[in-house]
Structure 1
Amino acid sequence: MQKIVTTKNFNSIFQQCDRARTYKKLIAITGNEGTGKTIALQQYERDNENTFKIHCLKTMKAKELLTAILFSLGESFTGSPYQMTFKIAEILNSKEKPLLMFDEISTLGVSHLIYIKDIWDMVENNCGIVLCGQHYFITNLEKAVSKFKVGMPEFLSRISSFTELDEITNQEIEYICKENGIEDCNKYFNLPNFRVLSNIIKNLKEE
């Protein structure tokens, strides 16, 4: 097992999740691959009650996204997209300070984002939502707005803030290596991201 290390990005994601929950905001967090998004969201979900993480997939259809949200809420419910959206909002509004987190939000299309907008409109007085994905999520969203895609100007206007994550530093590489029992850290300096470093640590631990 690798030891989870609280990097600058890890702390930033935790802070933004706390902010979304406390102040009932819809916020976006973006960063390149391997900047620590998923592992931070997973840990935040484990550490906090009424926190629900959805892993988005490009192969998801819009209704399958709603099913995944309901599953994360511990609910098995089928119906029309409207009924499912309403059920999601009903569950979230029944909880104290809930937080809904979407990992890999950048894989979703406009048809999916419309449902997230509709959910937000029904829960914004009780719930926070975090959208986490690649940098191009914002670029694609702005393109959809410029093309007057239905609902996208409204969706963009509802995002209260955007946080960009940093690239991995050699100082962080050294810290992570030592925390995982690896002393010879210099050879791993200038790695492109945390994911590459994680794979190296896994391989070393298998030896």
Structure 2
Amino acid sequence: MTTDFKKQVQEKLANYIAQKGSQNKAAHSLTGVSSALLSQMTNDNWDQISETMWRNVASQIGHSSKEWVCVETTDFKMINYFLDDAKQNANVFAMTGDAGSGKSKTFELYIQDSKNSYLLSCAEYWNRKEFLVQLLTAMGVDYSGFTVAEMMNEIVKKLKSQQTPLIILDEADKLPDTVLYFFITLYNRLEDHCGIILCATDHLSKRISKGIKLNRKGYKEINSRIGRKFIELKGVNFTDVTQICIANGVENSKDIKEIFNDSEGDLRRVKRKIHAVKNRV
């Protein structure tokens, strides 16, 4: 492992600590990492730090040694507009976009430079406790020994004490109903204090519509709190793909057209195809 890599991680870590507010909060938000270790990394005391730990920290704070230039696509700009609005004005929005539209990467980049902003990548297996654990971890709060009620109270207390906090629930359609209801609780207790963004594929909007028709518990309340509207992302267009290709070393117009036609609007496919074109024999 090179010194340049460690320096890059060190620089990224300094920004991460600043975003979290303190070294202790940063350590609490990372798995298997202590405040003492972060102190060693930031102060050039590297002799006792294994390569495995460097990679562990690097992956958790979003650093990659592979060069890839991100471009401000149409959806990137749109998402950032609503993130800023939600954060500055404690607004609540729900947005939908196709898989591979760049939603998650946009969120990751946003929170890196936005203090008191917390991103949760939701999962199907989360129960109510796990959801709160994930949110407290993102906030850098030690939740040891807390009950579910105590965890929720701690979250509300911390967020109300912060300036312009923001919660982003990515892939929110994966949450079971019992956890999705926590969105109502968070809204009710943090209204006018904290911005909230729900984001998913259009499965979420269809799920909410179906739940309302079937008069399922909580669905009308959720729909009301997002303003009875889902913001639909535009998707990846030819201009977006062209800019991504040029930024990442593919400038031939024929290659760009080929990449766009092969992408099916999925930025993951764009990235793979750019790699294939650049390594074409």
Would you say the 8 A contact 1:28–1:132 is kept in 2?
yes
Deviation at 1:35, TM superposition (A): 0.8
Identity among equivalent pairs (%) = 27
C-alpha distance in 1 between matches for 2:208 and 2:188: 18
Bigger relative CO (Cα 8 Å, ≥ 6 apart):
1
1:19 has 2:85 as partner: yes
Aligned partner of 1:65 in structure 2 is 131
Question: What's the TM-score once normalised by structure 1's chain length?
Answer: 0.93
1:181 has 2:249 as partner: yes
Aligned partner of 2:216 in structure 1 is 149
Would you say the 8 A contact 1:110–1:152 is kept in 2?
no
Would you say the 8 A contact 2:123–2:174 is kept in 1?
yes
Deviation at 1:42, TM superposition (A): 0.6
| Structure 2 runs not aligned, ≥5 long | 1-66
Return closer, same or farther for 1:188/1:127 CA change in 2, 3 Å cut-off: same
Deviation at 1:203, TM superposition (A): 5.2
1:45 has 2:116 as partner: no
Return closer, same or farther for 1:202/1:67 CA change in 2, 3 Å cut-off: farther
C-alpha distance in 2 between matches for 1:21 and 1:122: 16
| Structure 1 runs not aligned, ≥5 long | none
Structure number with bigger Rg: 2
| Residue number among 102, 126, 151 corresponding to 2:193 in the alignment | 126
Deviation at 1:106, TM superposition (A): 1.2
Deviation at 1:6, TM superposition (A): 0.1
Aligned partner of 1:172 in structure 2 is 240
C-alpha distance in 2 between matches for 1:203 and 1:79: 50
Return closer, same or farther for 1:206/1:98 CA change in 2, 3 Å cut-off: farther
What is the identity, as a one-letter code, of the residue corresponding to 2:260? F
C-alpha distance in 1 between matches for 2:279 and 2:83: 34
| Residue number among 180, 200, 214 corresponding to 1:113 in the alignment | 180
Matched residue count: 207
Question: What's the TM-score once normalised by structure 2's chain length?
Answer: 0.70
Aligned partner of 2:14 in structure 1 is none
CA RMSD, 1 decimal? 1.7
Query: Alignment partner of 2:152: what SS?
Result: helix
Deviation at 1:146, TM superposition (A): 2.2
Aligned partner of 1:195 in structure 2 is 268
4+ residue runs over 4 A deviation: 202-207
C-alpha distance in 2 between matches for 1:205 and 1:71: 40
